[in-house]
Chains A and B, each alone.
Chain A
Amino acid sequence: MSLIEMRDVKKRYKNGVTAAQDINLNINKGEFVFIIGSTGCGKSTVIKMMYREEKPTSGTIVVGGLNVGKLRNSKVYKLRRKLGVVFQDYKLLNKATAYENVAFALDVLGLPKSEIHKKVIKALDLVGLKNKAKNYPEQLSGGEQQRIAIARAIVNGPKILICDEPTGNLDPPTSAEIMKVLMEINKMGTTVIMVTHNHDVVKENNKRVILMESGRVLKEYKEGEYA
């Protein structure tokens, strides 16, 4: 059974824009999937429906055994605990250190301090920023901020990591560093779904690619097919 399954999914926003339609997708455990396409084609909309930021207008979405479309607002947290999300703009707390930013994700779930410490150190180590734990976001480069955001997304060991243009604000060498971290996380068993504009990044990493256009899936490339 696939980890993420979308059946005939359609999303029509309140303003009448149909941002996604006829979406049929199966993503298996351990996969790395790029979602690409021109601006406004519905990439963000598709992944927002996966983590239930948006509800599908019709169709079914099952993520990790949860019927996302039918999930009540008060139960969304159950889905969110199965996945991590990373954005182009990092979304860090500016008044908290790198360590505190990562710890925040566990703190709000009520984990004991000792366990939080262990997990945060491990996550910071994984993204290579153990030595910057005490820095505030403004004392970190863009790439470092994004790595903190990734550490926060994976610190609780989610099955799925969803990234919306994580390298969108970064130069090519820094993007490559981020990709290295994401590949590392994927190797450890986490399913990664990444929306990107960056063709170089997609070409350098021979992974499955979903190409979207005007709200539909135009073409799918299996691992190594996209060039």
Chain B
Amino acid sequence: MKFFRIFSRNIRDAALSVIRNFSLSLASVSSITITLLVVSISLILSYNVDNFATLVERDVTIVAFLETTATREEVIEVENAIKNMDGIDSFVFQSKMAITEEMMESSEVFQNIMKNWSEDENPLQDTFLIKVDNIDEIGFIAARILELEPVDSTKYGEGMIEQLVSLFDVVRKVSVGIVLALIVVTAFLISNTIKIAIFSRKREIEIMRLVGASNINIKVPFIIEGLFLGFIGSIIPVGATIYAYNRIYENFDGQLFSPFIRLVEPFPFLYGVTIILIGLGIIVGMFGSWRAVRKHLKI
């Protein structure tokens, strides 16, 4: 009972303090709002990029064409080199003769043209089909395969997906940097707001100490004030995220550019985002106020 009376008192004090220092509270809240909006954007991008990546990963294959002049020894050399590379899921070899036979079987036209080709005259190329473990590495692996002497050229995947993935990846990295910087600024602003709150209630704090309020009891309202600021700051980002993501999902019919790139379904994805945004707002708020309390409320 006593605990709840003191606790509800602390909450009331914190709420009053937010209102009393309105302009500073507003600055802190705005800062949290901006931070969380950026967090929200980067969360949505990250999740969707991961989602595309897992979708396309299964089907991404590098096709490596060997020089027509490649000898049997050179083919074995390439095969061994691919075997020893990291990041390769599986590969198959198709010799030009096997391809020729396959083509001749599929149509009479081919059969008539090709039946007289000797090994040396055959213009087709020996081919390796290589599946990679991770789409992010596909460009890198293709380049390494191309470096092998008998390899003439390589082709892989839908270039657009790869470009999209790498573009979003850059965006994600940049936004992580921005978020970190914004969190520092926000924590500083909140810390400053709480510092002012502490100074404006100096007399009250002095009397509380004098009449025997415990230290925790004196400090907790300021921590709660930080928590409130963080929570209030997360309201707009949460609302905007839920609204905007649903609209985007509906507008694009759940896919981007091609049916291959599916967007993450809004629910339960957005529940997770909501929890992260509110949680982060509260943590940053409490961290900022905790710093101010530690520094300016030495009791």
Do the two shown chains form a genuine complex with each other? Answer: yes
The answer for the CA separation of A74 and B219 in the assembled complex, in Å, is 12
Write out, one digit per residue, whether chain A residues 65-84 have a CB within 8 A of any chain B CB (1) or not (0): 00000000110111111001
Write out, one digit per residue, whether chain B residues 195-218 have a CB within 8 A of any chain A CB (1) or not (0): 000000001101111111111010
Given contacts A73-B299, A91-B203, A93-B203, is CB(A110)–CB(B2) below 8 Å? yes
Whether A105 pairs with B211 at a CB distance below 8 angstroms is yes
Whether A85 pairs with B1 at a CB distance below 8 angstroms is no
Given contacts A91-B203, A91-B206, A93-B207, is CB(A77)–CB(B5) below 8 Å? no
Chain B residues within 8 Å of A51, by CB? 210
User: Which of A73, A78, A109 contacts B211 (CB under 8 A)?
Assistant: A109
Distance between B205 CB and nearest chain A CB, rounded to angstroms: 10
Chain A residues within 8 Å of B212, by CB? 77-81, 109, 156
Within 8 A of B (CB), among A69-124: 73-74, 76-81, 84-85, 91, 93, 104-105, 107-112
Whether B3 pairs with A110 at a CB distance below 8 angstroms is yes
Write out, one digit per residue, whether chain B residues 1-43 have a CB within 8 A of any chain A CB (1) or not (0): 1110110010000000000000000000000000000000000
Whether A77 pairs with B207 at a CB distance below 8 angstroms is no
Whether A80 pairs with B299 at a CB distance below 8 angstroms is no
Chain A residues within 8 Å of B215, by CB? 73-74, 76-77
A152 at the B interface (CB under 8 A):
yes
Distance between A41 CB and nearest chain B CB, rounded to angstroms: 24
Within 8 A of B (CB), among A37-74: 51, 73-74
Write out, one digit per residue, whether chain B residues 41-78 have a CB within 8 A of any chain A CB (1) or not (0): 00000000000000000000000000000000000000
Interface size on A, residues (CB 8 A): 23
Distance between B279 CB and nearest chain A CB, rounded to angstroms: 29
Distance between A3 CB and nearest chain B CB, rounded to angstroms: 17
Closest partner residue, chain A, to B208 (CB atom): A108
Chain A residues within 8 Å of B210, by CB? 51, 80, 85, 91
Total CB contacts across the A-B interface at under 8 A: 57
Majority-rule SS of B interface residues? helix
Within 8 A of A (CB), among B187-244: 203-204, 206-215, 217
Chain B residues within 8 Å of A109, by CB? 6, 211-213
Chain A residues within 8 Å of B3, by CB? 110
The answer for the CA separation of A137 and B209 in the assembled complex, in Å, is 21
Given contacts A91-B203, A107-B9, A110-B9, is CB(A80)–CB(B211) below 8 Å? yes
The answer for the CA separation of A109 and B204 in the assembled complex, in Å, is 14
Write out, one digit per residue, whether chain B residues 245-258 have a CB within 8 A of any chain A CB (1) or not (0): 00000000000000
Chain B residues within 8 Å of A73, by CB? 215, 299
Of A81, A104, A109, the most chain B CB neighbours within 10 A belong to: A109
User: Which of B1, B9, B207, B299 contacts A105 (CB under 8 A)?
Assistant: B207
The answer for the CA separation of A77 and B208 in the assembled complex, in Å, is 9
Whether B1 pairs with A77 at a CB distance below 8 angstroms is no
Whether A91 pairs with B207 at a CB distance below 8 angstroms is yes
| B residues with CB within 8 A of A | 1-3, 5-6, 9, 203-204, 206-215, 217, 299
Question: Can you name 23 A-B residue pairings with CB atoms under 8 Å?
Answer: A73-B299, A74-B215, A76-B215, A77-B213, A79-B212, A80-B209, A80-B211, A81-B212, A93-B203, A93-B207, A105-B207, A105-B211, A108-B9, A108-B211, A108-B217, A109-B211, A109-B213, A110-B3, A110-B6, A111-B5, A112-B1, A152-B211, A156-B211
**CB-based closest 8 A-B pairs:** A81-B212, A80-B212, A110-B6, A105-B211, A110-B2, A108-B213, A110-B5, A77-B212
> Apart from A93-B203, A105-B211, A152-B207, what are 5 other A-B pairs with CB-CB below 8 Å?
A51-B210, A74-B214, A110-B3, A111-B5, A112-B1
